[in-house]
Structure 1
């Protein structure tokens, strides 16, 4: 009572005037209580309205929020490092070639690189920067815009993951979990923020999966407008993902397996008329095979249409294709080859070089002058086409005698004046073939200097005459019957690492390493052929380029004896055994480390193993006549019988774990400028080279 402030007033009670005491605190508490009740009555309808709005527009609010977070996480600090990062040096350089219209060669299809070039063009880039690794971007190159453009594909992965989960029938809890796993994965985040192809590859992969699930959910309405729409969209997505990188073909295989199962199930459905079943086949052939192939081919058509000038990739293409490039002078070649012509011979197999010789001799074998294949223009690539010595040689310098299919010729090396020759001596490396050398001179030699021309094909109408650029031929040794061959076998240092040339005893007309064409041709008695006579055919060049890409891809296998810090094995990926440094790792540099969110990757890998055990369990139960297995997300399977409160708790723990670990590792994805030693706490595994 001592602490109560009292207010006294008088009151007449029982004829006596007495004071009445009012407690101010009690009055205040009562007022607050009444005010609170009034406030609750005011707020309750508002909260109810918000709750009703949320429940009504749940499937709009969530993807919008996730997409906003995706933009925020992908674009945050995207320009922090102003140096060329990792493979930005490759794909930025390819963008430069597109903008300069210079032909280049790469192991990947062109769609992704053309999109990079589009980003550069929209950024106002003029194609003048070399994109050398670890160099600083010039002030006039808006690399931030280019990175944002690429990161946009990474942004769209998040809503795609959300809507795909819905189409697959996941619960609301699982849909959120899947979306968070994509949103807060540090590997997806990091790889999306640079001028690379990976964000596009992942986006088109997810888009293909999304379109396939949308199509699957239309299976009860075959040949409806939506059915056709999503089948066509699936085909377009397949074409795009395969046109970014060939690894996208694994996505195509997934769609293929689904399609095979779908058609197999329909085959056993007797309610489907045979004509409708045939329509299902035709629809899938057109939309899932023909359409993706057309998109893939179309990307190369655009690629060729843009790259019309000579560039660093010319020599990977046929001589005829090179003749059509601006800046190339092959069109000055006389069209038909005559005796006395000076020529160069290119091997048409993958990586084929120019027939070459030099004064150095073989250290073993015959000890005669070496013959190799060389990939660069050189005076030692030049040969003179002559008749064999025993044949009549024309005397009239004004006459021209053309070389024909089936002719026997002698090839005189211009620089050393010796003859292309072969004999029964094993080749230096490919011992099953005969050695090819240069021997004698214009007046001295033997019958083993003679070669018979066998035309394999001509791009244009066949004539008996041998044409420069367009004629593909083989050279058969007249005495031994073997064929001149160069198959990318590198000689040791004594052969200057050039390609071994042999004479193959096998007669295999389909072996492109025994195919040759005349690339350069000089003859003062003949007029230039002109570009009109040297036009390559698109499909032929498309096929040749893809073959070259295939062989170049296979050649990228890392050397097991080479300690390559960028190399890794597939078994290491699911368990995050290794990460990848994307730049210099000096203490004063901004460092990026490509490493997945452990909560996402480890739980994903564990779920695969758990799925196998779960599937085995349900198969055993099926043998006991229990049919309680239903397709679905594992988390949904194991929480199906839980109360809503328990389910909220289980999923909430997973949400919190993903977000917390993302926050812990976010700096290695956004860029770390602190000394390396400060990253020590993030080295959870000894194989992570974050600090070392």
Structure 2
């Protein structure tokens, strides 16, 4: 038996001897069923101290987050589009932004002000109220952390220590003081963890009301966290791994009937799959319902979706496309832009006029459909519809040049052919000819005519056989960072959505608008389109090699060691300056605790494998694995994926991770301190010392947390690491 187990065993024996002896009546009836009222009363009395302490932490959390919240009147954050009801595009799901818009509505903000980052708030905007709304979410994670630690069955001293660490985490305070998504994200992350631990504690009462309640609330909470930012999927992964572990454990219980085991599966499928997806989808339904007017984000959505927005005239499109019609042509790939050209030329290759895809609407997106050069042109007063298989020319309205392709390498995707604009109304050749190939129509099985908004078609270059294509490759600065358009000659090109197009805007004075209700999209299509566009845009958030390094950007390896921080606004002497950094001792303790947890666990596993006798109490090894594993997984799942992400990274991406890191600290402090539980003074000294260091560190860096004015040199004594640059940053 090792020292750790001897100490634990002696401690348990002493606890048992200290228990009062049962009377003869009590001993005979100790397994008798207690009245329900007594049980509820006992549970309430047992939980009452934790609830009181939780309320104290809530008050302290509100104080630390609300303190001097209006000190700076500089804009950090956003919240306008929902209040103007104008559709916009963002890489994040809508729940967090809708909640911020709700905050604006509650304080009387109408959404008309620009809300430009770095600007000064006008007097008529109650920005303090909006900040308080977001700070409240940041404050709520403090009592949630304490109560979650209670659910994990940590000793109360450790629970309080965990609450203090979340309370005094400087980075979590700074991020909560502005109108940002992050405090909302961290709140729902902590709520998901709380509900999961609460549900786990119902293991002995499967299919009871409480069991179903907390399973359902776990599903709701992970649906909410995913609806704020996609990093919420890491919380989903934590719940999913816990579920797999439970179901695998139940599979080995030979006393469990198969019907009961199947019911466990069904309950989790409903509550942890169907419920979260429903919550996520419902938030998008609200998103589409509220944003009913045309706005800056229209072009990211399908043409059919845009036709249903107020203030846009797509619903007035004539239905059937005809020769001499003026049109805009949208790529049918997810997040695809509009076929576009401008007077600038390619710097290499043919050096002819550039053709790109552009997500914003302007006159350079307009084209006129003409017959090929060798055919008689349709008179301006006649209507002839464009049919499947027709050969057409596309003439750029602003420059009168023809859409053209030839055997020249595309500027970026060199294995495809270049697409350009060439010639004029009288000059051109057969490389200007494109064949229309209808792929599908949303309302007709066998369409003959190309129809605005409804028909997807390919444009095949007649001479080379390649297909007009746009994809998620941006041209360099000489192409204004717009999407490359090329001609795809691969054998598998026919079925790729990036090689398909539809007519978005259609003008023809000889034709009447389509009947009402012709252009109406389905929610499921809009939901999928927007999510794929978000995914595509997220993947495009990569560092720009043409720009100077951004001082705000950091790397994932820098976060656990607290090597970087972020200034939240201008750094001149007259501005209230905030420096967002974590409480360094919390971050360093978390890193040390992660390493220690891995070391201890490996040591125990090796000893068990070697059959070295352990005297773990009943369920102690299970509790060690559960608490150690779930806190480590929470940390690892929220951190390690950033090493394989190509997108730009910032310090705030680590904040959900450090929340779980704090629980790892609590777990390791409790585990190591157990060696000294025979000498309570030493155990208390360890816990109090850690808490004291955290609190002192919080106050030492609070000047940066709550904002300061004057020269940055006055905080030079807080610049412990040269990489922090808090005293040397300049605009």
- Same fold judged by TM-score > 0.5? yes
In structure 2, how many angstroms separate the alpha carbons of the residues matched to 1:550 and 1:666?
38
Higher relative contact order (CA 8 A, sep 6+): 2
Corresponding position: 1:59 with 2:93: no
Match of 2:671 among 594, 617, 637: 637
Match of 1:33 in 2: none
Match of 1:625 in 2: 612
Query: Which stretch shifts more, 355-364 or 454-463?
Result: 355-364
Q: CA offsets per residue over residues 76-126 of structure 1, 9 Å max, x none?
A: 1111112213xx1xxx2xx21111111111111100000000011011111
- Measure how far apart 1:130 and its partner are: 1.3
What SS class does the counterpart of residue 532 from structure 1 fall into? coil
Corresponding position: 1:73 with 2:109: no
CA RMSD of superposed structures (Å): 2.4
What SS class does the counterpart of residue 468 from structure 2 fall into? strand
Report the structure number with the largest CA radius of gyration.
1
- Measure how far apart 1:569 and its partner are: 0.9
* CA shift in 2, pair 1:284/1:498, >3 Å: closer
* CA shift in 2, pair 1:691/1:442, >3 Å: closer
Long gaps (5+) in structure 1: 1-52
Query: Which stretch shifts more, 442-451 or 148-157?
Result: 442-451
Match of 1:11 in 2: none
In structure 2, how many angstroms separate the alpha carbons of the residues matched to 1:413 and 1:139?
48
Query: Which stretch shifts more, 405-414 or 251-260?
Result: 405-414
What SS class does the counterpart of residue 65 from structure 1 fall into? helix
Long gaps (5+) in structure 2: 1-43, 628-666
Contact kept? 1:588, 1:673, Cα under 8 Å: yes
* CA shift in 2, pair 1:414/1:604, >3 Å: closer
Contact kept? 1:340, 1:384, Cα under 8 Å: yes
Contact kept? 1:104, 1:311, Cα under 8 Å: yes
In structure 2, how many angstroms separate the alpha carbons of the residues matched to 1:492 and 1:595?
34
Query: Which stretch shifts more, 653-662 or 373-382?
Result: 373-382
Contact kept? 2:54, 2:146, Cα under 8 Å: yes
Match of 1:19 in 2: none
- Measure how far apart 1:595 and its partner are: 1.4
What SS class does the counterpart of residue 343 from structure 1 fall into? strand
Contact kept? 1:54, 1:61, Cα under 8 Å: no
In structure 2, how many angstroms separate the alpha carbons of the residues matched to 1:448 and 1:171?
78
What SS class does the counterpart of residue 526 from structure 1 fall into? coil
Contact kept? 1:151, 1:199, Cα under 8 Å: yes
* CA shift in 2, pair 1:606/1:498, >3 Å: closer
Contact kept? 1:146, 1:195, Cα under 8 Å: yes
Corresponding position: 1:612 with 2:598: yes
In structure 2, how many angstroms separate the alpha carbons of the residues matched to 1:99 and 1:332?
27
- Measure how far apart 1:418 and its partner are: 4.3
- Measure how far apart 1:491 and its partner are: 4.2
In structure 2, how many angstroms separate the alpha carbons of the residues matched to 1:178 and 1:496?
50
Count of aligned residue pairs for this structure pair: 632
Match of 2:686 in 1: 650
Query: What does 1:109-508 align with in structure 2 at a 5 Å threshold?
Result: 109-358=93-342, 362=346, 364-366=348-350, 368-390=352-374, 400-440=383-423, 445-462=428-445, 463-491=447-475, 495=479, 498-506=482-490, 507-508=492-493
- Measure how far apart 1:411 and its partner are: 2.5
In structure 1, how many angstroms separate the alpha carbons of the residues matched to 2:723 and 2:479?
42
- Measure how far apart 1:365 and its partner are: 4.1
In structure 2, how many angstroms separate the alpha carbons of the residues matched to 1:557 and 1:394?
48
- Measure how far apart 1:628 and its partner are: 4.6
In structure 1, how many angstroms separate the alpha carbons of the residues matched to 2:305 and 2:128?
37
- Measure how far apart 1:282 and its partner are: 1.5
- Measure how far apart 1:488 and its partner are: 4.5
Contact kept? 2:324, 2:378, Cα under 8 Å: no
Contact kept? 1:420, 1:436, Cα under 8 Å: yes
Match of 1:527 in 2: 512
In structure 2, how many angstroms separate the alpha carbons of the residues matched to 1:284 and 1:318?
35
Q: CA offsets per residue over residues 259-308 of structure 1, 9 Å max, x none?
A: 11111111111111112211111111111111111111111110110111
* CA shift in 2, pair 1:83/1:410, >3 Å: closer
Match of 1:668 among 692, 704, 721: 704
* CA shift in 2, pair 1:194/1:367, >3 Å: closer
The normalised TM-score by structure 2 is 0.82
What SS class does the counterpart of residue 509 from structure 1 fall into? helix
In structure 1, how many angstroms separate the alpha carbons of the residues matched to 2:285 and 2:329?
28
Query: Which stretch shifts more, 235-244 or 422-431?
Result: 422-431
Match of 1:570 among 523, 531, 556: 556
- Measure how far apart 1:501 and its partner are: 2.4
Contact kept? 1:324, 1:531, Cα under 8 Å: no
Q: CA offsets per residue over residues 120-139 of structure 1, 9 Å max, x none?
A: 10111111221122222122
What SS class does the counterpart of residue 403 from structure 2 fall into? strand
What SS class does the counterpart of residue 166 from structure 2 fall into? helix
- Measure how far apart 1:516 and its partner are: 1.0
- Measure how far apart 1:205 and its partner are: 0.6
What SS class does the counterpart of residue 493 from structure 2 fall into? coil
Match of 2:647 in 1: none
Query: What does 1:95-106 align with in structure 2 at a 5 Å threshold?
Result: 95-106=79-90
* CA shift in 2, pair 1:490/1:187, >3 Å: closer
In structure 2, how many angstroms separate the alpha carbons of the residues matched to 1:406 and 1:106?
38
The normalised TM-score by structure 1 is 0.86
- Measure how far apart 1:444 and its partner are: 5.7
Match of 1:602 in 2: 588
Match of 1:582 among 559, 563, 568: 568
What SS class does the counterpart of residue 484 from structure 2 fall into? strand
* CA shift in 2, pair 1:509/1:289, >3 Å: farther
Match of 2:499 in 1: 514
* CA shift in 2, pair 1:405/1:145, >3 Å: same
- Measure how far apart 1:54 and its partner are: 11
In structure 2, how many angstroms separate the alpha carbons of the residues matched to 1:56 and 1:477?
74
Q: CA offsets per residue over residues 512-544 of structure 1, 9 Å max, x none?
A: 221111112122221012551111221111111
- Measure how far apart 1:188 and its partner are: 1.2
